[in-house]
Amino acid sequence: MAQFYLYLLIGICLGLLGWGFVRPDRIYQYPFIMGAIFVSFIVPQAIALVENPGVASSVAIERVLLMSCLCAGMCWFGYQSKPNLKLLKKLNVPHNDRKLRQGAIVVMAIGYFFLFLLSRTTIQFAANSNWTGPATIYIFFSKVIYIALAITVILALKNPTKVNIILALVAGLPIVQNAILVGRRQPTFAFLVIIGVCAFYVRRLLPPRLLTLGATVSAAYIIPILGQLRGDFWSAILNGNISSINFEQGLNRVLEGNVLEFRNAAILMDAAAKTGHYGYGTGFWDAIVFQYVPGQLLGYGFKNSLQFNLTSFDTVSLFDYSIPNGSTTTGIGDTFLELGYFGCIIFYILAYYFKNIWISAVYQNSVFSQLLYASIISPSMAGITHGIDRFFQEIILQIFVLMAIRYYLRN
């Protein structure tokens, strides 16, 4: 059955891509983008897990593949729902460019302030090699600069004055630095998507289909090699030394299956199924508490008391498997940990809301919806690669800032 589910997953993902290629304007819409992430990130790991299961049982592999099929399918089914007229009305917020520019400057200043604090902070590392301490707070809140980038790019495309262009360059500078010098994958793709969707909003510009197809296929090679080389990847590109990069090496390492996020998901899902312990949404709450409640200020005991930790399984004692440092459980895994197979409904709900936001942004020309879409499409991609808990962590901040801008635009 594992092979059948694998072929079904590949078929669904190719269907999502095909849906996008039918009409060029669909390449920035939720089903196509999710299909591209599934094809470039999940499918290679699924193939590797089937070929190299490790400690994962055949039942565990079949379960994670079936869950992947359900989640990928919901990305399309949720998008087929009729738009909500009341929601569309709320999303259609009047604005003027002067206030929008002022909002961008304030948000940009906040982003740069937290980047400054981060530059003055010594990075602390937890036992799993992840960042901990104040640095995690500073880098998290510095992400508001993505909103500033979306605003300034839209303004620069609508009215390419020196002021608007300079503001767009200033907003994009730290994101480009983080993408190129540090080699972070999410900032890289977030930057490209924001520029792309904003160009479509204002000028209806779209990349050629062949370029989009090539980028989608190339992502399967670039994502793993970028994760390995980090800043050295872009140094080689900028120095014209592309031949020094072995693009096949990154994908080959994934296919070898030594370290797989997809295996993490399979093992944790197996633990939930065997023990009958599910989070029922508490895991997402725990992630929000982890991100927004500062243990340094309020005490770690108080912070821990706010969390449920219902799905904190000891995989070593259960399966003799330790989740590798720096790896994730994916959105496939954490949604199953919360609601079992019903966790795929989360992808249905996300697709439904993304459709409404897209209609408001494109057909009603709502600048608020354009900013909302550009701001949360990157967290939605991280929702697959890292986990839906990561998505909730990031969109709360983005929506809070955007609601403040919305209030300012209406008054």
pLDDT tens per residue across span 178-197:
766 665 667 778 888 899 99
Q: Would 124 be classed as within a structural domain?
A: no
* Structure token pair of residue 338: 């919360």
Structure confidence at residue 25 (pLDDT): 87
* Structure token pair of residue 21: 């290629």
Q: Binning pLDDT at 50, 70 and 90, where does residue 248 land?
A: low
Q: Which residue has the higher pLDDT, 251 or 278?
A: 278
Report the distance separating Cα 201 and Cα 195, nearest Å. Answer: 10
Asked if residue 33 has pLDDT above 60, the reply is yes
Q: Would 284 be classed as within a structural domain?
A: yes
- Span 210-221, average pLDDT: 75
Report the distance separating Cα 303 and Cα 295, nearest Å. Answer: 6
For residue 76, count CB atoms less than 10 angstroms from its CB and return exposed for 0-12, middle for 13-18, buried for 19 or more.
Answer: buried
Report the distance separating Cα 370 and Cα 185, nearest Å. Answer: 23
Backbone angles phi, psi at 17, to 5 degrees: -70, -40
Q: Would 10 be classed as within a structural domain?
A: yes
* pTM, to two decimals: 0.90
Q: Would 385 be classed as within a structural domain?
A: no
Q: Would 357 be classed as within a structural domain?
A: no
Q: Binning pLDDT at 50, 70 and 90, where does residue 223 land?
A: low
Which of 18, 191, 166 lies closest to 10, judged by CA? 18
- Contact criterion met (CB below 8 Å) for 148 and 401: no
Q: Which of 73-77, 377-381, 395-399 has the highest mean pLDDT?
A: 73-77
Structure confidence at residue 124 (pLDDT): 72
Asked if residue 242 has pLDDT above 70, the reply is no
Q: Looking at the 3D structure of the chain, how many domains does it have?
A: 1
Provide the domain limits for residue 36.
2-84+247-347
Count of CB atoms situated within 10 Å of the CB of 88: 17
- Span 361-383, average pLDDT: 93
